[in-house]
Structure 1
Amino acid sequence: MTGDRQIRVESEFAPLRTVVVARCEFRGPADPELLGHSMPVEPGAVGILEAVGPRDFGEVYPDRQRAWAGEREQLAAALTRHGVEVLRPRLFTEAEKTAAGPAGYGNFFVRDPWFTVGAHVIEGVLQFPHRRLEILPSRELLLDRVLPSAARYVAAPQPGVDCGPFLEGGDVLVLGKQVFVGRSGMATDEIGCRWLAKYLAPFGFDVVPVRLPTHVLHLDCALGLVRDGLLIACRDRLPDGLPESLRGWDVIEVDEDEAAAMATNGLPVDSATYITDPQFARVGAELQDRGITVEYIDFTVSRLFGGAFRCSTQPLLRA
């Protein structure tokens, strides 16, 4: 029975109890213009992804595909060692791959198609056409875990033909009853943000929009909450500065190049343990100086696609 399993996320750094770890599937669009705008990727990855074209990434780069899957397996194993229950979405079916058509498909960053705020599980709407079906591999898991629970389970309105609303989990950071929502125009839009604020308001949540530059996909590519009073941020990606309630926090600063490589996109296991890539050893040293235990996992291939540890995970229980 799953009815007694708890579904709740109190904050970005509350102890992680149950988490979904992403799969590794990507097929590029038949026409690059179907992306709508340039997909943000790790610096140096543009040529690699352009070479994929309308083919599956693993067909073009079998060695990188194996390494990519290995990265996620290492992350899952590390979380299991910490006592975290790890769940996985299924892979796309052949019918789903066919249905994706010339837009291509992505099943690689489970953070974005749905998210958890308090005891609310919300299916969002992804802006990139190749990611529109990304909710499907998680749907059975959600039906199994969330429907029998006491948590609320809702979905954002579907977008128009050439407009939103759009609402993506990488833009949503939870801090108790405060919910920070990034808005760059590349992912979550104004209507998506307003819808989330309207839905959550009766439950006592305050949605705080955070403006981002147009080249930054999600808020977690600019800001990461490590523990109460400590965060990692790229100020160049926060044109209005930190949200007011975070301005008294201790800040580990990263520059634009570090942020583009995903330095803010690590994963707190709890308020004393943090997972990041060895690429960010400088950030890790600053965390260690502040009493945080840092674990390193090489996420080179995952970062090619413009995401890292937070993007690759979605909590069902952080409390």
Structure 2
Amino acid sequence: MSDSAEVGETPEVYVESEFAPLRTVVLARSEVGLPASAATSSDLRFLPADSPARSARGGDMRDTDPARQARWEKEREEFRTVLDRHGVRVHSPRLLTPAEKAYAGADGYANFFARDPFFTVGRHVVEASMRFLHRRREVLPVREVIREHVYPADCAYVAVPMPEVAAPDDPTLGPGPFLEGGDVLVLGRRVFVGTSGLASNRLGIRWLAKLLEPHGYTVETVRLHERMLHLDCALGLVREGLLVVCEEALPDGLPESLRDWDRVTVDLEQAGRLATNGLPLSPEVYVTDPVFASVGKRLEDFGVHVEYVDFSVTRSLGGSFRCSTQPLLRTG
């Protein structure tokens, strides 16, 4: 269940940028049922070598690997403790119902990365359109949070069109449109959207531009290396003028508007382990995994306070701190 707002309080929904002070966030649950048959090997190229998704064949992790499940839940609890300490209000999706799990069938199901099935740009809350079959209903357990904290707020709430149905032997999974929150980075009225062939595609980006540009936004496509699932696996905006980036993962280089920013660089192997996927809590505070202490040290040299939480199980599933959260309110 999500945490309730104070009685009589109207929720506020607005995301100014990736690093504006985080006030309200949705923190993902730790729930996944892996597909009965693995995705194509090319679709697994973004996962680390130790990912359970590379070898598992179906079943809820709670049943198939309870020890890993327990460690995963502990990671999320420790992360929530950091969020609480910094005064961030946290909402949580509900768990999937037995009916939802049964309906997913052999495709599997997911309720584990709140960043992707919906996202927030300014006062626009957008339900995404997921490419992988096991993630296409991932927004369902979030809708309770949306009903409580988005419907009453002064904001728009829309959904990307349902993706077209592809032939069973079509490895592309069809034309989409696909648009996922991990690909969307917000910087004021400028929105960057990544595309690698694994998640968001150009049709999804065209849809987002059609939604946002009449409201004064610029939507910019950022091509990604084929091993990057999302843009936030290659690029993180820490504060105005400072970013973390894997330049190898950006075939066209950084977007023009970011090229004069100070940068902490990581290589492709580090990016594959989610080195750029830390989470700014404000322009002064950043959360990352202790395995990336070298990144943290360089950020500290720029005057950023770094908090560390072990997120090794979470990262083994293809996401990290940004992937695990979706802000509803980020504003100074």
Equivalent residue, structure 1, for 2:48: 43
Checking the alignment, whether the CA contact within 8 Å between 1:170 and 1:311 is kept in structure 2 is yes
DSSP 3-state at the match of 1:65: helix
CA change 1:161–1:3 in 2 (3 A) is farther
Q: 1:120 aligns with which of 119, 124, 141?
A: 124
SS in 1 for 2:53: helix
Alignment-derived partner of residue 260 in structure 1: 272
| 3-state SS in 1 of match to 2:129 | coil
Q: Select which of 230, 250, 260 maps to 2:262.
A: 250
Aligned pairs, how many?
Answer: 317
What is the alpha-carbon distance in structure 1 between the residues aligned to residue 25 and residue 295 of structure 2?
24
Q: AA paired with 1:45?
A: D
62, 65, 69: which one aligns with 1:65:
69
Query: Does structure 2 retain, via aligned residues, the 8 Å contact 1:89–1:138?
Result: yes
8 Å Cα contact 2:46-2:228 kept in structure 1: no
Alignment of 1:80-229 (within 5 A): 80-162=84-166, 163=174, 164-229=176-241
> Does the 8 Å CA contact 2:125/2:156 hold for their aligned counterparts?
yes
SS in 2 for 1:26: strand
Q: Is the 8 A contact 1:5 1:149 kept in 2?
A: yes
Determine whether 1:15 maps to 2:21: yes
Shift of 1:4: 2.1
Partner of 1:308: 320
TM-score (structure 1 length as normaliser): 0.97
| Secondary structure, aligned partner of 1:32 | coil
Shift of 1:52: 2.6
Question: How far apart are residue 36 of structure 1 and its match?
Answer: 8.3
Counterpart residue type for residue 222 of structure 1: A
CA contact (8 A) 1:21 1:86 kept: yes
CA distance in structure 1 between the partners assigned to 2:236 and 2:11 by the alignment:
28
Measure the CA separation in 2 of the matches of 1:172 and 1:318.
Answer: 15
**Structure 1 residue ranges (4+ consecutive) displaced by more than 6 angstroms after TM superposition:** none
* 8 Å CA contact retained: 1:2, 1:149: no
Asked if 1:79 corresponds to 2:83, the answer is yes
Kindly state the Cα deviation for residue 143 of structure 1 after the two structures are TM-superposed: 1.2
- Displacement, 1:43? 2.4
TM-score by length of 2: 0.93
Deviation at residue 311 of structure 1 after TM alignment: 0.1
Judge conservation of contact 1:41–1:305 (CA < 8 Å) in 2.
Answer: no
Say which SS state the counterpart of residue 126 (structure 1) adopts: coil
Q: Which residue of structure 1 aligns with residue 301 of structure 2?
A: 289
Kindly indicate whether the alpha-carbon contact (under 8 Å) linking 1:11 and 1:318 is maintained by their aligned counterparts in 2. yes
Distance 1:309 1:230 in 2: 18
Question: C-alpha separation between the residues in 1 aligned to 2:9 and 2:299?
Answer: 38
Distance 2:291 2:46 in 1: 16
Whether the 8 Å CA contact 1:3–1:148 is kept in 2: the answer is no
Structure 2: state its 5+ residue gaps.
1-6, 167-173
Equivalent residue letter for 1:44: A
| Cα separation, 2, equivalents of 1:104 and 1:56 | 9
What is the percentage of aligned positions where both structures have the same residue?
54
8 Å CA contact 1:3–1:149 kept in 2: the answer is no
Q: Deviations over 1:273-298 (max 9, x none)?
A: 00000000000000011100000000
DSSP 3-state at the match of 1:100: helix
1:279 equivalent in alignment to 2:286? no
Within the candidate set 12, 24, 31, 2:37 is matched to 31
Write the deviation string for residues 3-32 of structure 1: whole angstroms up to 9, x where unpaired: 622100000000000001111111111122
Q: Contact 1:2–1:148 (CA<8 Å) still a contact in 2? A: no
Aligned partners of 2:321 and 2:45: how far apart in 1? Answer: 16
Aligned letter for 1:190? R
- Aligned-CA RMSD value: 1.3
Q: What is the alpha-carbon distance in structure 1 between the residues aligned to residue 117 and residue 44 of structure 2?
A: 16
Superposition deviation, residue 214 in structure 1: 1.8
* CA-CA distance at 1:39 after TM superposition: 2.8
What is the match of residue 3 of structure 2?
none
Quote how far apart the aligned CAs of 1:50 are.
3.8
- Shift in Å at residue 300 of structure 1? 0.4
Would you say the 8 A contact 2:46–2:229 is kept in 1? Answer: no
Question: Contact 2:131/2:178 (CA < 8 Å) preserved in 1?
Answer: yes
